[in-house]
Structure 1
Amino acid sequence: MAATRNRRAGVEDLWWKTVRQPDGSPERVRSKLYDTGKRWRVRYVDDRGRELTKRFDRKVDAQQWLDIVVSSQVTGNYVDPVRGKITFASFYREWSSRQVWVPGTLQAMNLAADGVTFGDVTMADLRPSHLETWVKAMQVKPLAPGTIRTRFNNVRSVLRAARRDKVLAHDPSENITLPRRRRAEAAMVIPTPEEVGALLRAADEDFDAFVGLCAFVGLRLGEAAALQVGDVDFLRREIHVKRQVQRANGHAVEIRAPKYGSERTVPAPDGLLKLVSIHVAKWRPGDDPTRWLFPGEGQHPWHQNSVGYRWRKTRASVGLDTLHLHDLRHFYASGLIAASCDVVTVQKALGHSSPTVTLNTYAHLWPDASDRTRNAADALFRSSTESTAYPLRTESPK
């Protein structure tokens, strides 16, 4: 293994050198490079132990450039001059090949990275203006604000990796203004209990349990489709979410870990457990706990296409053509919040990665300070006016 060079730096005069005379005295004489090329050469050792050089016509320019390099090494802002010359697209291809991603993440990252308007720009030349131009192009396309934010964050993860790898001195994506998203309460649709009841009654006999799992334990489509009979614990009244169904590239059916690693155990209401037990008895009898609760073709369970067909048929039969299956998850979350469940409880039930995700999605459903103040004042008012000793005058003066 080669020894690592110590970090050092300096400016050398290539035209003149110092030699020792026979009497030991030093004397400056012309070198073989005299009057050839640039006179001053900067030499320094980078963070990887490689010696790099750069030549200048004037000593003052060489010294100023070296000072910047040394300062950047000390502050951690050093950029590899060789690596900094590769383009964004080239760096992404190299970096992404080393990442441990599931197919869905790879597809989303490729979609974002391939869609930038600065793919052929070298990393060292990237500026915030490049990011702003790209964001504006996505808005003009037009893409939804949420989609723009997702793609921006994916590309930003690439730039942060380049920063760690000494390819970028600074992250050019900092302080970039993104299109504002609509308020969650304006975009979110929450079906009423009457509508959910109508959907359950209208669903085919092999589909009503699926609707119930989405509405009363808040499962995502892929999570409900990937349930096995053994995941339903009728004794403890729990449902275990251990996997999800995904379609890779829109074709192959894959069984993966739940989104964001959200394996969880969800308490199930008795009515839902009864609905599921009827489904198992009629459609999935047997002793194998690993059999799919909703079997599809071959060895696979239902997936997005098979569920989507049944859902569109069900909602159309009750006149709810614009309702999405995911809206049943909102119905479940709103019910937990209305029952005064705290943020962490709702987070764990929904399988969110953090309470922040839950708040970002459902904060508008929790009572705010005004609601709490009003309710507290109401309680004070009732306790103060219900006294029989001092009855409250309720009639207006004539």
Structure 2
Amino acid sequence: MGSIDKLPSGKWRARYVVSPGKQRSKSFPKRRQAKEWLDLREAEKYLTPELSNREAGNQRFGAYAKQYFDGRDVREPSKTQHDYYYGYMEPLHGLRVNEISKQAAQVWFNDLKSSGMSAGRVNIALSYFKTIMGQALQDGLIARDPSADLHRLREPRRTIIPLTVEQVYEIADAGAPEWRRLVLTGALTGLRQGELFGLTYDRVNRSSKTITVDRQLQPRNGELTFTELKTDASYRSIPAVDMVLELIGEGEGFVFKTPRGLLWNRKRLFTHWHNALKKVGITDYTFHDLRHFYASLLISQGASVITVQRALGHSSAAMTLETYSHMWHDGFDSIRDAVSEGFGLS
């Protein structure tokens, strides 16, 4: 495992290899002492195999976390989200994995909580951090998990109040014709931002009045490119009413571009949306609320949970219910009527 040699000073030096290119050594007055120390290191290796792994814990947390994210088999949209959460851990990147103390983890978490980020995002970042440190513990890189005492924040449940038809028209009419086309199509199809950005005319079937959703436009390596959708359920075909087909029109290439003829991206959309809301005096809504508006239209017309799930491309009916259950509530009178009728009391 190691070697012992005599130094010019007369002392005996014991050495052993920790990892490629790295070794440990210690000097002793007598050769016997050097051998005993070396034998003890050998014994520790077999008694606690993870000891050698702990040496790997000397690598920076940023590098270790990147290995974790890069090693996950996920779709491109999730990889983009990973970049955000990897960035949220930036204050810890320079620390060695085995140097992250409970105090350091707590300071990072406290700063995250006070950053103005939503409780949901904080909880996702914490979940990733816990997973990474749990993996480090399992790999033997650390002896104790510094994230063990960090607990999720309580997330206030948001009751969605959808935009009204009048508000949707106000927002759409607050910009150029190209802006109007984008907003109204989003409100009448429930397409996600990236799905709208990447919609091309060959995905619009005017004879069957359907739109095929099988890709989206997302940034990758500084450029906008087609990427796969978030989940398998996101791949869908949705019906298009006549008004949508009129808004889309006929042509080639991308259906939607900015008033200046550029491809849409999140930054450009945010600027136009913010300006439109400011112009009409509407607050507390995002472009994503057009999906909620679309869902509210379907529900108000009696659509089932499964229908709404498929139209929106949700991964499960449970997700749809969790988001929109309050919109299906039609009051105690209908419950009383159902009970009375069911028991033959009416």
TM-score computed with the length of structure 2 as normaliser: 0.70
Task: Please name the residue that 2:91 is paired with.
Answer: 115
SS in 1 for 2:95: coil
Q: Within the alignment, does 1:277 sit opposite 2:245 as a pair?
A: yes
Deviation of 1:171 (Å): 5.3
Contact (CA 8 Å) 2:190, 2:292: kept in 1 or not? yes
Task: Please name the residue that 2:193 is paired with.
Answer: 221
Q: Within the alignment, does 1:326 sit opposite 2:292 as a pair?
A: no
Q: Percent identity?
A: 23
Task: Please name the residue that 1:132 is paired with.
Answer: 106
Deviation of 1:196 (Å): 2.5
Mean alpha-carbon deviation: is it higher for 107-116 or for 193-202? Answer: 193-202
Q: Name the aligned partner's letter for residue 132 of structure 1.
A: Q
2:184 counterpart (212, 221, 228)? 212
Task: Please name the residue that 2:129 is paired with.
Answer: 155
SS in 2 for 1:301: coil
The within-5 A match list for 1:1-398 is 34=32, 36=34, 38=36, 41=39, 53-54=43-44, 66=47, 69=48, 80-96=53-69, 102=76, 104-105=80-81, 107-116=83-92, 119-123=94-98, 126=100, 130-163=104-137, 165-168=139-142, 172-174=146-148, 176-185=150-159, 188-200=160-172, 204-247=176-219, 252-260=223-231, 263-270=234-241, 274-281=242-249, 284-285=250-251, 288=252, 291-295=253-257, 301-312=263-274, 314-316=276-278, 318-339=280-301, 341-367=303-329, 375-381=334-340
Contact (CA 8 Å) 2:210, 2:237: kept in 1 or not? yes
Deviation of 1:107 (Å): 2.5
Q: Name the aligned partner's letter for residue 80 of structure 1.
A: N
Higher helix share: 2
Contact (CA 8 Å) 2:190, 2:294: kept in 1 or not? yes
Distance 1:374 1:219, change over 3 A: same
Q: In 2, Cα distance between the equivalents of 1:299 and 1:342?
A: 39
Contact (CA 8 Å) 1:226, 1:292: kept in 2 or not? yes
Distance 1:334 1:80, change over 3 A: same
Distance 1:311 1:82, change over 3 A: closer
Q: In 2, Cα distance between the equivalents of 1:316 and 1:357?
A: 32
Deviation of 1:241 (Å): 1.4
What CA deviation, in whole Å up to 9, does each residue of 1:248-275 have, x standing for no partner?
58x63333223345542243252xxx22
Q: In 2, Cα distance between the equivalents of 1:95 and 1:385?
A: 61
Contact (CA 8 Å) 2:57, 2:141: kept in 1 or not? yes
SS in 2 for 1:207: helix
Deviation of 1:231 (Å): 1.3
Contact (CA 8 Å) 1:344, 1:355: kept in 2 or not? yes
Q: In 2, Cα distance between the equivalents of 1:240 and 1:100?
A: 25
Deviation of 1:112 (Å): 2.5
Q: In 1, Cα distance between the equivalents of 2:187 and 2:147?
A: 39
Which structure 2 residue ranges, 5 or more long, are not aligned? 1-29
Deviation of 1:244 (Å): 2.0
Deviation of 1:161 (Å): 4.1
Count of aligned pairs between the two proteins: 314
Q: Name the aligned partner's letter for residue 245 of structure 2.
A: S
Q: Name the aligned partner's letter for residue 44 of structure 2.
A: K
Which structure 1 residue ranges, 5 or more long, are not aligned? 1-31, 44-51, 56-64, 388-398
Q: Which has the larger radius of gyration?
A: 1
Contact (CA 8 Å) 1:112, 1:154: kept in 2 or not? no
Distance 1:331 1:277, change over 3 A: closer
Q: Name the aligned partner's letter for residue 347 of structure 1.
A: Q
Q: In 2, Cα distance between the equivalents of 1:79 and 1:348?
A: 51
Higher relative contact order (CA 8 A, sep 6+): 2
